[in-house]
Amino acid sequence: MDRELALEFARVTEMAAIACGRWMGKGDKIAADQAAVDAMRTMFDTVSISGTVVIGEGEMDEAPMLYIGEKVGAGGPEVDIAVDPLEGTNLVAKGLPGAIAVLAIAPKGGLLHAPDMYMDKIAVGPKAAGKIHIDAPVKENLKAVASALERSVEDLTVVILDRPRHEGIIKQVRDAGARIKLISDGDVSPAVNAAIEGTGVHMMLGIGGAPEGVLAAAAVKCLGGDMQGRLWPDGSDAEKATQIQRAKSMGLADINKVLTINDLVSSDDVIFASTAITQGDLLNGVRYFGGGVRTHSLVMRKASGTVRFIDAIHKYDQKPLLIKRS
């Protein structure tokens, strides 16, 4: 993929964030998500790719746009696309920090077609790459990361979704002496933070969405970090059986397989782009002003190792989505 495409993908997440940000704090997560989806889908038609959505808003009968299998783009190289137009619907609805518009792009076949189910995950930065394993005790992983970072376990901060299912690993982290940052929603941004030095986050741990796991892996791979995952069926026996069958139909025959970062994202020609909707640890949220809006985005390309932070001002005449680039 041409490097110029990276900036075009930033435009896609920017427009999704701008449209969605108008719903911050209004208590309507469905409207917020729809605004992001509409804007992202519209912007894809301006990008010179022949894209197929492999991770999106659901199946064709569940989502009118950005559904799995949908073709997008204005024509160009064939690519697979993973999208989450609004990661953190509850965060936007409640005006809480951490919501982003995010996507990952790779050549055809370069992204795992993850089923819509849970995934157990662990993510770390470049210095700890190759030092962790999802099956190792939490204490041992923490020791390995601490050693790689030349600090004590007590100096580490681990991000975990605040869910009852994580009571066990939360206790293990605390017993080991590390600090914990509990979050209410959205585990893509924490994985990115764990892979970027200086964010104060050193590991992301726990069970979240499998599609989000692929998005997170794309970012972590661009940054040279490490991530592993394992699909985690949930619910009744019948629901678990359905999820397992769904995974097998998508080519994941062994539900218990440890998925390495190269299983999750097999291509080195991967691009990751995200724009903050609400304020985050790494990116500033959308800020509106008379006649325009300011966005803050992160765009990364594995092939070149480039990591760009884009602080952009967009001007418009009357309607927020009639954007004039500045």
Q: What is the pLDDT of residues 278-293, one digit of tens each?
A: 999 899 999 999 889 9
Q: Rounded distance, CA 90 to CA 96, Å?
A: 8
> If you search the block for the tokens 């629901």, which residue do you land on?
239
Q: What is the pLDDT of residues 37-52, one digit of tens each?
A: 999 999 999 999 999 9
Q: Rounded distance, CA 252 to CA 312, Å?
A: 40
Q: Is 25 labelled as part of a ligand binding site?
A: no
Q: Is 187 labelled as part of a ligand binding site?
A: yes
The CATH number of residue 144's host domain is: 3.40.190.90
Q: Is 288 labelled as part of a ligand binding site?
A: no
59 — pLDDT class (breaks 50, 70, 90): confident
Q: Is 33 labelled as part of a ligand binding site?
A: yes
325 — pLDDT class (breaks 50, 70, 90): very low
At 320 the pLDDT is 45
4 — pLDDT class (breaks 50, 70, 90): confident
The CATH number of residue 56's host domain is: 3.30.540.10
Q: Is 150 labelled as part of a ligand binding site?
A: no
In a domain, 174, yes or no: yes
Q: Is 209 labelled as part of a ligand binding site?
A: yes
At 317 the pLDDT is 63
Of 221, 241, 264, the domain-final residue: 264
Q: Is 290 labelled as part of a ligand binding site?
A: no
Both 126 and 246 in one domain: the answer is: yes
pLDDT over 70 at 11, yes or no: yes
At 3 the pLDDT is 72
Both 254 and 305 in one domain: the answer is: no
Both 291 and 182 in one domain: the answer is: no
In a domain, 325, yes or no: no
Sequence-distant (6+) residues with CB within 8 A of 237 are none
Q: Is 126 labelled as part of a ligand binding site?
A: no
Q: Is 84 labelled as part of a ligand binding site?
A: yes
Q: Which domain does 209 fall in, by range?
A: 118-264
Both 127 and 256 in one domain: the answer is: yes
Q: Is 57 labelled as part of a ligand binding site?
A: yes
Q: Rounded distance, CA 209 to CA 140, Å?
A: 25
Sequence-distant (6+) residues with CB within 8 A of 22 are 35, 288, 320
Both 123 and 249 in one domain: the answer is: yes
> If you search the block for the tokens 């397989």, which residue do you land on?
257
Both 101 and 156 in one domain: the answer is: no
Q: Is 120 labelled as part of a ligand binding site?
A: no
Both 12 and 96 in one domain: the answer is: yes
Both 186 and 288 in one domain: the answer is: no
pTM metric for this prediction: 0.93
In a domain, 323, yes or no: no
Both 260 and 272 in one domain: the answer is: no
pLDDT over 60 at 322, yes or no: no
Q: Is 164 labelled as part of a ligand binding site?
A: yes
Of 227, 246, 264, the domain-final residue: 264
Both 302 and 222 in one domain: the answer is: no
Token pair for 94: 């409640």
Both 242 and 298 in one domain: the answer is: no
Q: What is the pLDDT of residues 192-226, one digit of tens each?
A: 999 998 999 999 999 999 999 999 999 999 999 99
Q: Is 45 labelled as part of a ligand binding site?
A: no
Q: Is 87 labelled as part of a ligand binding site?
A: yes
Q: What is the pLDDT of residues 295-305, one digit of tens each?
A: 999 999 999 99
| Domain count of the fold of the chain | 2
Average of per-residue pLDDT across 144-171? 97
In a domain, 15, yes or no: yes
Q: Is 186 labelled as part of a ligand binding site?
A: yes
Percent of the chain scoring above 90 in pLDDT: 88
Sequence-distant (6+) residues with CB within 8 A of 189 are 87, 98, 100, 274, 280, 281, 282
pLDDT over 80 at 316, yes or no: no
Of 227, 249, 264, the domain-final residue: 264
Average of per-residue pLDDT across 174-195? 95
Both 277 and 256 in one domain: the answer is: no
